Amino acid sequence: MPEIAIIGGSGLYSAEELKNIEEVKVHTPYGKPSDNIIIGTFNGMKIAFLSRHGRGHQYPAHLVNYRANIWALKELGIKRILAASSCGSLKEELKPGDIVLLDQFIDRTAGRSSSFYEGSKTCHISVAEPFCPQLRSLIIAAGQKLNLPIKPAGTYICIQGPRFSTKAESNLFRKWGVDVVGMTLVPEAVLAREAEICYSNISLVTDYDCWKDSHVSIQEILKTMSANVENARKLLFSAIEALPAERSCECSTALKDALL
């Protein structure tokens, strides 16, 4: 079974690089995942692919069943997740088409189930450093090797959606020093940490949010997204090729001292 998974965000609904594919339906205690999980081979490695929003984009960010998605991948034996997502830039120097390798996030969502532990045990999982350092360093190195427009660190603010921000909100986030805004990182990253799965996010900038442009055009976003997806594919599979067999991080023991 595969130990590496890709979660594809808006625009990235399939992994054409995978060969000998099969679809797997996984039942979870939290209901259905966003889609069947695609399993295929790439350079001799088995890779799983899951479309976060479903292949028809039927689940907007606030309705994605994040717990079912991460549980399903854990059930399949996944130990590493490389996730891609679209985002808006909150800084002039971060242009549409750029790629941000996140190292921090701020959560502004509401009502999303963000833990697997809601019964007899409570989990105070540490997300002080929310992304796997080993995965991040490999993705950064792959991006530099490919000469992609990649920023090696950045803070993502996760909003509830599905609406975009008001201009007042967008300018507030800028005052906080946030780099990009999106709708899907939380609770996905937190649940992966609870599942002791290495997780890193590739954020693909599609627009400048409304602080710069009074109207965020879906048409322009889709146009930029199309170009972003090609870079995301190159980056994801280049990083996967470089992954060592063993994990050298602490993600696999994240639950140690976290459960009450």
Q: Mention every residue, 6+ apart, whose C-beta is less than 8 A from residue 183.
A: 60, 61, 62, 158, 159, 160, 161, 162
Please report whether residue 258 resides in a domain.
no
Q: How far is CA 40 from CA 16, 45, 63, in A?
A: 10, 8, 27
Sign of the alpha-carbon dihedral angle for 155, 160, 165, 171:
negative
- Classify strands 198-207 and 19-24 as parallel, antiparallel or unpaired: unpaired
Using the Cα atoms of residue 28, residue 34, residue 158 and residue 143 in order, give the sign of their dihedral.
Answer: positive
Does residue 246 fall inside a structural domain? yes
Task: Tally Cβ neighbours within 10 Å of residue 20.
Answer: 9
Q: Is residue 74 part of a domain?
A: yes
Which CATH number fits the domain that encloses residue 13?
A: 3.40.50.1580
In a domain, 259, yes or no: no
- pLDDT tens, residue by residue, 116-163: 999 889 999 999 999 999 999 999 999 999 999 999 999 999 999 999
**What pLDDT, in 10s, does the model give residues 2-16?**
999 999 987 777 788
Q: Which residues are catalytic?
A: 207, 209
Give SS3 for 154: coil
Whether residue 146 lies inside any domain: the answer is: yes
Q: Is residue 46 part of a domain?
A: yes
**Strand locations in the chain (E):** 4-8, 19-24, 37-42, 45-51, 80-89, 99-101, 104-108, 150-151, 155-159, 180-182, 198-207
Residue 66 tokens read as 């994040």
pLDDT digits (tens, 9 = 90+) for 181-229: 999 999 999 999 999 999 999 999 988 999 987 666 667 777 777 778 8
Domain count, the chain: 1
Residues spanned by the domain of 174: 4-253
Q: What does the alpha-carbon distance between residue 252 and residue 192 come to, in Å, rounded to a whole number?
A: 10
What pTM was computed for the model?
Answer: 0.95
Is residue 260 in some structural domain? no
> Does the residue 62 lie in any domain?
yes
